[in-house]
Structure 1
């Protein structure tokens, strides 16, 4: 029998080039299992944004990216290969530490990228949590926002990854929303432990994220009181989150108390705060309405008199996934608890305008909406985290 082959397409690039070895056949049909080495070279005045391969996925082309000038791609399905480049001036202000692994509770190592303004010391930290329906994407998709938030040298930005819900990671047992929330708390615990190494201040943290990451970032801000080792739904009425990572020598109680004073503000973008969109649950008879409500930020907002957690919420007016009513319901819950909140509707924008990918359309959307509203978000975080509020 003839060996299986797959079609490999080399995408056109601008402001740089890449070569693939071994060279592809004219028809692009490559034998299964072939390892292709991709080498990228930016044009003068540009630097590598990412090398990548892409495959069809839930949200169109799904990108698997590398931030190194040379990387390998294994041919195991039809793929596109390419590279994107950005002006050197756009990233001259920041140093990036890629792929810091903070835990591995399942098949996938959990990691984050650190964006540190050059010369940073004791800056507030903004933790960014990506979207993708809780089952796709990783921390790379938020690098455009991280770059914008670090301009001006006011903040360190850290973009984190987490387990995907269900069996999307290939884990033997399905991951629930509880697992994802525990991963995000674990990432923050790791970031706080190493904050000084990144030029950051562990006692001043803001959280943001878009779509599914909007849900997770709002959860980080509102549910800290329930970080603990009592289990989630194992005892009636007890719903606690055990972070996927704890620093050596620190109990979960100590970590919770540190987070209660450190996490001071949230900016969830076009997020999911309650309702049926959160119905990604385990097939477990213990999962009742109380369990479901316990993963919803909508039902976790603390009274401002107990703990203030200012919010900046935004949504595109042409968002076909997240409605104005969904955001307004959360805003109203914040207001009812006396929390400071600003809700901004972004005229003409659709969903995911804070995403960054190699394709021209995503980057153009980010340029049109993401850049401006990243500056608005940065002003919000400065008002809370700078110490001048």
Structure 2
């Protein structure tokens, strides 16, 4: 078996670069005041991207020279053409890996001009989004500077349906829940599942938090989001006793962790005392302890579909911020798989055959570890697909990739969850 270290090193380098280049730049960003204080420019060029199937209006209007003064708060309104619905309003900024998007799924988006930006909107056929109701930006916790949110996609008339929680990727250090909306739409297509797409803190200081966030903190956010979703499941047309989890890339790791590391939920802290590595959910329902939530999740989280993720401690050591090897081990799903006779947690794994970040041998090792514990597991290699084919952005290339690979494998994932939830 080939070593996964070269791919892991590339993943670490990619995550670091993405973290440096995708920090929030809208009006709520913690770095905005520093940006305004240090730039020498008085105005920045704004480019309006070509828009199909709808229109946008900017307030204040863009000047004749195509620029806004530094610090201008711009409000963008969007209007779809007949037969279409809004996908998102966005602005994008340059990044190492191409355009980096910041989006709003509502028909109004406010942000501050602090650098050159592209502004635009994406629209989608109304029929593609007519089957669900969207609850946008539900805040479940504020453990640092960033509000932690999730979106709920409930099929029309949903009642007591299983819930699939979706966890986005981005090197644990970029993106938010909006990037998984394509998958959420596909999972709800048959009207058999509710989908909840969640956000979490970024690792290290990428959110602007004074105290760097550890990998354990991110897992605590995921458990907190699930606890909040379970508490409010009936409002979403869902059944709190039937939960599945999925995610891609970093979200692949976090979704596997959410399904496998439940026994480690507790109040003891992570690494605070020698040998103790507990995950205390960032949100706890009123009157419930971490231990109460653990017992509920042990019986409620029934299946997972982690896509092209890192599952072994070896691949997670570089993200532990100087903590011990035990800390990496504690966050590694592959090290804590329960025997199926104790707790069954079926897994559906996917990876593109042309994925340059996640190697087949890493996913295969996780597959073998699951099988050794008697767990039900499916591993689908997606012929011709690269990394992140489950992502959705207001970008025609990304949309085409999702249509080619994401749509058919989302259907397989949906069938898997329908079988096991």
Class of the TM-score when normalised by the shorter of the 2 chains: over 0.9
Structure 1 residue 251 and structure 2 residue 289: aligned?
yes
- Is the 8 Å Cα contact of residues 317 and 325 (structure 2) preserved in structure 1? no
1:2 offset after TM fit, Å? 8.4
- Is the 8 Å Cα contact of residues 71 and 113 (structure 2) preserved in structure 1? yes
Structure 1 residue 168 and structure 2 residue 206: aligned?
yes
In the alignment, the residues of structure 1 paired with residue 283 and residue 87 of structure 2 have an alpha-carbon distance, to the nearest angstrom, of 30
Report what 1:382 is aligned to.
418
Report what 2:326 is aligned to.
290
Q: Which moved more, 1:372-381 or 1:55-64?
A: 55-64
Q: 1:359 aligns with which of 382, 392, 395?
A: 395
1:277 offset after TM fit, Å? 4.8
1:1-389 to 2 correspondence within 5 Å? 4-57=42-95, 59-274=97-312, 275-283=314-322, 287-385=323-421
1:58 offset after TM fit, Å? 5.0
1:150 offset after TM fit, Å? 0.3
- Is the 8 Å Cα contact of residues 168 and 176 (structure 2) preserved in structure 1? yes
Cα displacement string for residues 69-125 of structure 1 (whole angstroms, at most 9, x for unaligned residues): 122231111111000000000011000000000000000000000000000000000
- Is the 8 Å Cα contact of residues 168 and 251 (structure 2) preserved in structure 1? yes
Which consecutive residues of structure 1, in runs of 5 or more, have no partner in the other structure? none
- Is the 8 Å Cα contact of residues 151 and 196 (structure 2) preserved in structure 1? yes
Cα displacement string for residues 105-156 of structure 1 (whole angstroms, at most 9, x for unaligned residues): 0000000000000000000000000000000000000000000000111000
1:57 is paired with a residue whose SS is: coil
Which consecutive residues of structure 2, in runs of 5 or more, have no partner in the other structure? 1-38
TM-score normalized with structure 2 length:
0.89
- Is the 8 Å Cα contact of residues 320 and 327 (structure 2) preserved in structure 1? no
In the alignment, the residues of structure 2 paired with residue 278 and residue 292 of structure 1 have an alpha-carbon distance, to the nearest angstrom, of 5
In the alignment, the residues of structure 2 paired with residue 15 and residue 268 of structure 1 have an alpha-carbon distance, to the nearest angstrom, of 34
1:278 offset after TM fit, Å? 4.8
1:349 offset after TM fit, Å? 0.3
- Is the 8 Å Cα contact of residues 272 and 278 (structure 1) preserved in structure 2? no
1:39 offset after TM fit, Å? 1.7
Equivalent pairs, count: 382
Report what 2:12 is aligned to.
none
Q: Which moved more, 1:224-233 or 1:61-70?
A: 61-70
In the alignment, the residues of structure 2 paired with residue 183 and residue 23 of structure 1 have an alpha-carbon distance, to the nearest angstrom, of 39
Runs (4+) of structure 1 moved beyond 4 Å? Answer: none
RMSD across aligned C-alpha pairs, in angstroms? 1.3
2:319 is paired with a residue whose SS is: coil
1:37 offset after TM fit, Å? 2.1
In the alignment, the residues of structure 1 paired with residue 275 and residue 263 of structure 2 have an alpha-carbon distance, to the nearest angstrom, of 14
1:290 offset after TM fit, Å? 1.6
- Is the 8 Å Cα contact of residues 270 and 327 (structure 1) preserved in structure 2? yes
Q: 1:10 to 1:291 in 2, by over 3 A?
A: same
In the alignment, the residues of structure 1 paired with residue 63 and residue 328 of structure 2 have an alpha-carbon distance, to the nearest angstrom, of 53
Larger relative contact order (Cα-Cα within 8 Å, sequence gap ≥ 6): 2
- Is the 8 Å Cα contact of residues 310 and 358 (structure 2) preserved in structure 1? yes
In the alignment, the residues of structure 1 paired with residue 202 and residue 302 of structure 2 have an alpha-carbon distance, to the nearest angstrom, of 26
